[in-house]
Structure 1
Amino acid sequence: MPRSAWVYPTLAVLLFAATAIPSLGIGFTHSVAGLVFAAVLLVVLFGTVFAAVHHAEVIAERVGEPFGTLLLTLAVTIIEVALIATLMLGEQEVPTLARDTVFAVVMIVCNGLVGACILAGGLRYREQEFQITGVNVYLCVLTVLATITLVMPNYTLETPGPVYSHLQLAFVSVATIVLYGVFLYTQTIRHRDYFIGGKQEENGHAAASGGVLVMSVGLLIVSLVAVVLLAKKFSLVVDAGAAAIGAPPAFAGVVVAMLVLLPESIAALSAARKNDLQKSINLALGSSLATIGLTIPAVSEAAYLLDKTLVLGLPSRDIVLLAMTMLVSMMTFGTGRTNILFGLVHLVIFAIFLLLVFVP
């Protein structure tokens, strides 16, 4: 086990404990000491997120695919929900943060990450293969979840604006959970062979020793709790950074999405370079589904309990980007083989998304 796998979670817990003692005066402020604290916080937070993903991967090797990828995705989703809830429901209300983060995840995953994986694999192997049936399941569920959570709120009549009424939001949340639950049943039990490539079948069951497995379970829990505890401190740094560079509100959503997706992105790119594009797809598209299927219901419940407004509907410009992403994804994964051109097309769409975040 690498030293960082237990050092960063320990540092995260100690850092939170230090900030909880007022007499120490440790925290983020607009001063030199505050900037030093912000730098330390970001390093520790990033390290803890990587540690959480490492321990999830250790456990995943023991349980095998596709359960391993599912565990990794759920761990990242817990981190994401904590960050969104803290930023959105804090002192400075950001009712669009959940929408912006979910949309950013879909764009980063379906265009940035998928494009990078296909391009990296194509440059090394010319073409790569994957299970068409499994990808079709991902895209089918993702299209429905993205539409009912990010598009439909713009066209309902019960409440004005891009929001659902309480009844509509409750129904959509339940429908989202049910659909994601049935997808998990399909992925892990009913049709798990749709999501397992030949490479994974060879290497997917490397066993960890009992002691390492128990330690990884414990440190995974500590890492997730530590990230949740530091989320409030992180929100202050994000707000200050956005104000300093004059970034639009969507900037916070992109930051949260990139933070939680960075470890998974590295794992997906590594799999693509090892000619295991199926695992890359499982990680990438699974992240999108988990983000919508778990994050939206969780944040909706928090917003309802705290009587906060939750804006979900995307502006028309972003709806066009979302529709183009879904259409191009269907064509990219329609043949079961990929090449560098498909990867470049997705990266161009991702570049347009980033441009429109800062130059709307």
Structure 2
Amino acid sequence: MAGTLRSSWTIIVPLAGLIVLALTWQVSPGPLLAAGIAAVLVGAVLSAVHHAEIVAQRVGEPFGSLVLAVAVTVIEVALIVTLIASGGPGSHSLARDTVFAAVMITANGIVGLALLVGAIRHGVTRFNPEGTGAELAVVATLATVTMVLPTFTSSRPGPEFSPLQLGFAAIASLALYGVFVLTQTVRHRDFFLPVALPGETPEDVHAPPPTVRATVTSLGLLCAALIAVVGLAKTVSPVIEAGVTQSGIPESFVGVVIALLVLLPEGLAATRAAAAGRMQTSLNLGYGSAIASIGLTIPAIAVATVWLEGPLTLGLGGTQIVLLVLTVAVGILTVVPGRATRLQGSIHLVLFAAFVFLAMFP
């Protein structure tokens, strides 16, 4: 009976989210309506995690993590382009703020929480350093090429790329993302598979796959839930912007809030996987989401600049660059041994807290 109720709930909520999205689209919600929309948004996030896990069980790792990361990122790109096109305050730097926030949230927040939960539950977490190290290297390269270099180039005043430079960064990002997906799913898939805990067999690591019908249904409901999550996040974004402005927090913090909302499904899925002993799945979700966020967003924004007006600020400031460098350095020390304890998880969470605090109080 409980399973039936859970199944019904996860079917109803995504559809209800789409209905609420249709009814509130282009509506400026007041505080009470915004609270109701937020409640539906949270339900859609939880439903998305449920259906993502079903799809992941069917297709196996690392395809399951890839499905969720790409699905969320594609819709995130649509949200960013829509908000930039609206021409609101700070829209010229919204892509940079959101993508950098996504990198910090995934590489420190999601990874750190997963490591901490996994270590508390199992003592020492184990994962493949070959695959995880490759993911971290791709994140570092993409972030540097797309968000650090614009701060130091001289073709345009300010932290901007020239059209030619932006085109190169977009093509390089898309090409590197394609090579990563090929490596992760075809050539070296074994580098990204979960590592069995002591005493476990491969059958213990991999849950029994659901039926094809259940998988297809969950895939459709996953897409519906993600559309509802991002659409409802856009609907409540004016309330978020107003709250940020009234509190005196920099407008760039709006990008952090948007990234937090959009990445909730990955965060919950990664934490649950870590608690179940599938740390490699958690790291695939964390770093894979960061790779997808940069590798798909920057090319899409580059194409959108053909019709979008105004400057496009991509270069990071000094504080952000320091945080990015420290994140990569700590990530290397975490990944190389192939195992981690509560200490590594705590370090990443402190870095994430520092990022959020400095975004609010630069």
Could you state the TM-score of these two structures normalised by the residue count of structure 2? 0.90
Question: What is the Cα deviation at residue 263 of structure 1?
Answer: 1.8
CA distance in 2, matches of 1:14, 1:258: 23
**Within the alignment, does 1:289 sit opposite 2:291 as a pair?**
yes
**What runs of 5+ residues in structure 2 fail to find an aligned partner?**
1-5
**Within the alignment, does 1:126 sit opposite 2:123 as a pair?**
yes
Using the TM superposition, name which of 128-137 and 11-20 deviates more: 11-20
**Within the alignment, does 1:18 sit opposite 2:8 as a pair?**
no
The aligned counterpart of 2:64 is 68
CA distance in 2, matches of 1:6, 1:230: 18
1:346–1:220 distance in 2 versus 1, CA, 3 Å: closer
1:241–1:300 distance in 2 versus 1, CA, 3 Å: farther
Q: Is the 8 A contact 1:64 1:205 kept in 2?
A: no
**What runs of 5+ residues in structure 1 fail to find an aligned partner?**
21-25
Q: Is the 8 A contact 2:71 2:223 kept in 1?
A: no
The aligned counterpart of 1:175 is 172
Secondary structure of 2:120's match?
A: helix
Secondary structure of 2:306's match?
A: helix
- Give 1:300's aligned amino acid: A
The aligned counterpart of 1:234 is 236
1:317–1:44 distance in 2 versus 1, CA, 3 Å: same
Secondary structure of 2:157's match?
A: coil
Secondary structure of 1:124's match?
A: helix
CA distance in 1, matches of 2:156, 2:330: 33
Show the 5 A alignment for 1:178-257: 178-199=175-196, 201-202=202-203, 203-204=205-206, 206-227=208-229, 229-230=231-232, 232-257=234-259
Secondary structure of 2:309's match?
A: coil
Show the 5 A alignment for 1:150-169: 150-169=147-166
CA distance in 2, matches of 1:130, 1:228: 31
Show the 5 A alignment for 1:284-323: 284-323=286-325
**Within the alignment, does 1:5 sit opposite 2:10 as a pair?**
yes
CA distance in 2, matches of 1:226, 1:346: 30
Q: Is the 8 A contact 1:12 1:226 kept in 2?
A: yes
Q: Is the 8 A contact 1:138 1:286 kept in 2?
A: yes
The aligned counterpart of 1:28 is 28
1:303–1:52 distance in 2 versus 1, CA, 3 Å: farther
Question: What is the Cα deviation at residue 336 of structure 1?
Answer: 1.2
1:229–1:338 distance in 2 versus 1, CA, 3 Å: closer
Could you state the TM-score of these two structures normalised by the residue count of structure 1? 0.91
- Give 1:6's aligned amino acid: I
Show the 5 A alignment for 1:1-150: 2-19=7-24, 27-29=27-29, 34-93=30-89, 94-150=91-147
Question: What is the Cα deviation at residue 53 of structure 1?
Answer: 3.6
Q: Is the 8 A contact 2:233 2:261 kept in 1?
A: no
CA distance in 1, matches of 2:65, 2:119: 23
CA distance in 2, matches of 1:227, 1:112: 20
1:219–1:347 distance in 2 versus 1, CA, 3 Å: closer
Question: What is the Cα deviation at residue 237 of structure 1?
Answer: 2.4
CA distance in 2, matches of 1:228, 1:358: 23
1:168–1:297 distance in 2 versus 1, CA, 3 Å: same
1:327–1:17 distance in 2 versus 1, CA, 3 Å: closer
CA distance in 2, matches of 1:76, 1:180: 16
Secondary structure of 2:86's match?
A: coil
1:239–1:132 distance in 2 versus 1, CA, 3 Å: same
Secondary structure of 1:313's match?
A: coil
Question: What is the Cα deviation at residue 201 of structure 1?
Answer: 4.6
Listed one character per residue, the Cα deviations across residues 327-349 of structure 1 (whole Å, up to 9, x for unaligned) are 11101111112112212222222
Listed one character per residue, the Cα deviations across residues 98-124 of structure 1 (whole Å, up to 9, x for unaligned) are 111111111122222222222222223
CA distance in 2, matches of 1:108, 1:18: 31
The aligned counterpart of 2:3 is none
- Give 1:288's aligned amino acid: A
CA distance in 2, matches of 1:245, 1:72: 34
